[in-house]
Amino acid sequence: MAFTPVLHAEWLKIRTLRSLPGSLLALFAVTTAFAALAGADGSSDPDFDPLFSSFFGVLPGQIAAVSFGAMAVSSEYHGGALRLTLAAVPRRGRWFAAKMTAIAVPALLVGLVTALAALAVARAGLGSTANGLTTAQQVRGVLGCGVYLMLMALFAAGLTAVLRSGVATLSVLIPFILVVSFVVGDAVGTVADYLPDKAGQIVLHQTYDGTLGPWSGLAVTALWTAAALLAGVWSVRRRDA
């Protein structure tokens, strides 16, 4: 079977499984709501970062992006669905590529729309505090936010293909995002800059210190994602459905 009909079939799965559009809706709602709260709070601190404040909602919102990627893949391991899929598409690599594309495109598009909405509501609350943001910084924040959320969704998707369980993936990634990066990460110094979430979030800051910049930080997150996807496609090819 050619790639296009396989991709169409995978898109239909994502569109019709209600929990998946629901997780993307949650991504938009949570990120925008927290951005509005952060914008309304404001700050007179000289170290205040209005760009990161605008995208503060990404920190809780990324959990929905991770859930989207994990559930999109884990649904294949319920009720023998993967066996039926591979009967129709025997070339496992082609199926995996179509599945990841069907995850990446909506995650990126929703991420970009969410970033624009978050920036708009946060700026409305920040008022003159956000006047120091340049157009280039805001564009970088919006594009970087969309790419970051897509990478985190794909990272979760690749890990789920290895673990074959959405619950197992979320049990690993959610504590990692909420605990390791914020607690352990602060204790280990610059090593934390290379964690997948910490590295990618540099693009959301107006100013940044350390060895990584906005795009090199996203590149580090992309490497983590690529490693997870390579492990995922290896698992799909080598293990029984």
Specify if 36 maps to a domain: yes
Alpha carbon distance 191, 186 (integer Å):
9
What tens digit of pLDDT does each residue of 15-32 get? 998 899 999 999 999 999
- Burial zone of 45 (CB within 10 Å; 0-12 exposed, 13-18 middle, 19+ buried): exposed
Structural domain harbouring 105: 3-233
Specify if 69 maps to a domain: yes
Specify if 72 maps to a domain: yes
Specify if 240 maps to a domain: no
What tens digit of pLDDT does each residue of 174-190 get? 988 877 776 765 555 56
How many domains does the chain contain in total? 1
Query: Do 195 and 212 contact (CB within 8 A), yes or no?
Result: no
Higher pLDDT, 190 or 109: 109
Specify if 162 maps to a domain: yes
Specify if 241 maps to a domain: no
Specify if 215 maps to a domain: yes
Please tell me the predicted confidence (pLDDT) of residue 125: 83
Q: Using alpha carbons only, give the angle 169, 220, 20 rounded to the nearest 5 degrees.
A: 35
pTM, to two decimals:
0.93
- Count of residues for the chain? 241
**Is residue 123 very low, low, confident or very high in pLDDT (cuts 50, 70, 90)?**
confident
Specify if 151 maps to a domain: yes
Please tell me the predicted confidence (pLDDT) of residue 184: 65
Alpha carbon distance 96, 193 (integer Å):
30
107: pLDDT strictly greater than 90: yes
Alpha carbon distance 105, 235 (integer Å):
23
Please tell me the predicted confidence (pLDDT) of residue 87: 84
